[in-house]
Amino acid sequence: MENFVLESPTKIIFGRDTLPLLGRETIALGRKVLLVYGRQSLKRNNLHQQICGYLRDSGLEIIEHGGVTSNPLLSHVRQGVELAKKHEVEVIIAAGGGSVIDSAKAIAAGAVVKHDVWKFFSAKKGITAPLPVGCVLTLAASGSEMNGGMVLTNDEKRLKLGAGNKKICPRFSILDPTLTFSVPADYTAYGAVDAVAHILEAYFNASGRNTAIQDRFMEGLIINIMEACEATLASPDNYETRANLMWGATLALNGWARAGLGITGFPMHLIEHTMSALFNTPHGAGLAVVIPAWMEWRLEQKPEKFAQFAARIFNITEGGVTERARQGLQHLRAWISRAGCPLTLKELGINESAIPELAANAQPQAKIWRLPEYDIDTICDILRLSR
């Protein structure tokens, strides 16, 4: 196990009927609020009215900034930054899933600086003193509710990049599983795939050795997320399965799984970001295609860890190392398919002829993330396994 520092500054408020605590938690951070949310679902489910009511009951002034899309856009974040500056906002509240939370984080970082917010994502500027962020989570997926990461698409350059800093970790996040009951089946599954992908990135790409504790922790999370996803799809209003899925997705990317693993890469996310940037693919749907393709490409180089994955996740113990690894991949593909997710570029509506463009589009992020081995040829090879 490698040396590590683990810091979790986010206060998690988990469970049924926790939304009324929103006003109390927010007023401790400031009195003038920018409320960031998506396009329709919040108002359609009457959640917007409840959130505004709890904030106003605590004497808070609200400036609204709705319209976040599923792949959040730089142009919309820039508008939010201008709103926050104009109204001298003191705290940002995100009500939604990862896209909304990432937008809120970007606005919080951009509202206190004179330069353009994109410079955080292009690694030209560092985050120093962002406005505080609070969250009301409505989708189990990204883990953004308890980490310092954010992803944004530059809609002018058609480039999706990630940035991060512990200073933009939410100060608090309200996680009420009942708020996810209305999430449709496809996005429930996409969220579960996203959470599993976060774990697999660390599981297969860690630089450290002797990671037995973390391996078991990650394996347990994967099993529970997969089981909770299937159970939720079968019974969407089941509180316990929604709760397990929500907390599992949070734990997948809050730093705990990576403790002691050393340097870990995000190659699967690197590749998927190009799909979102160029084709507006839902993030989880893109990952459902990329994960098995990347695993098929990678397992030939490191079959032992893939065989361990197969044994511990799917109880596959017979055959040689590579054979077991391949059986594990087949079982994972089957789970993705059962969840109703795509497995090929064709199912995403992406033609094979677009593969070189996708690979080239990934290169700026590969440079920032220091993944030089994922050059154009390598990414093309991986994507051709998902045709």
pLDDT per residue rounded down to tens, the chain (387 residues): 889 899 889 999 999 999 999 999 999 999 999 999 998 889 888 899 999 999 999 999 999 999 999 999 999 999 999 999 999 999 999 999 999 999 999 999 999 999 999 999 999 999 999 999 999 999 999 999 999 999 999 999 999 999 999 999 999 999 999 999 999 999 999 999 999 999 999 999 988 888 999 999 999 999 999 999 999 999 999 999 999 999 999 999 999 999 999 988 999 999 999 999 999 999 999 999 999 999 999 998 889 999 999 999 999 999 999 999 999 999 999 999 999 999 999 999 999 999 999 999 999 999 999 999 999 999 999 999 987
- The pLDDT of residue 8 is 86
Helix (H, G, I), strand (E, B) or coil at 333: helix
Domains of the chain (ranges, CATH numbers):
11-179 (3.40.50.1970), 185-384 (1.20.1090.10)
Among 155, 147, 104, smallest CA distance to 266 is for 147
- b/e map of 363-378 (b: 16 or more CB within 10 Å)? bbbbeebebeebebeb
- The pLDDT of residue 387 is 75
- The pLDDT of residue 267 is 97
Residue 131 corresponds to which tokens in the numbers above? Answer: 């406005």
Q: What is the DSSP string of 213-224?
A: HHHHHHHHHHHH
Model confidence, pTM: 0.95
Among 297, 380, 290, 282, smallest CA distance to 343 is for 290
DSSP character at residue 40:
S
Spatial contact of 193 and 336, defined as CB atoms under 8 Å apart = yes
- The pLDDT of residue 348 is 95
Residue 184 corresponds to which tokens in the numbers above? Answer: 């449709």
Strand partners, 173: 12, 135
Residue 2 corresponds to which tokens in the numbers above? Answer: 């490698």
- The pLDDT of residue 1 is 85
Residue 36 corresponds to which tokens in the numbers above? Answer: 């960031």
Spatial contact of 321 and 338, defined as CB atoms under 8 Å apart = no
Whole-angstrom distance, CA of residue 356 vs CA of residue 33: 44
Residues ≥6 apart with Cβ < 8 Å to 344: 289, 386, 387
- The pLDDT of residue 44 is 87
Spatial contact of 195 and 140, defined as CB atoms under 8 Å apart = yes
Of the chain, the end-to-end C-alpha distance in Å amounts to 38
Spatial contact of 66 and 38, defined as CB atoms under 8 Å apart = yes
Helix, strand, coil shares, percent, the chain, to 5: 55, 10, 35
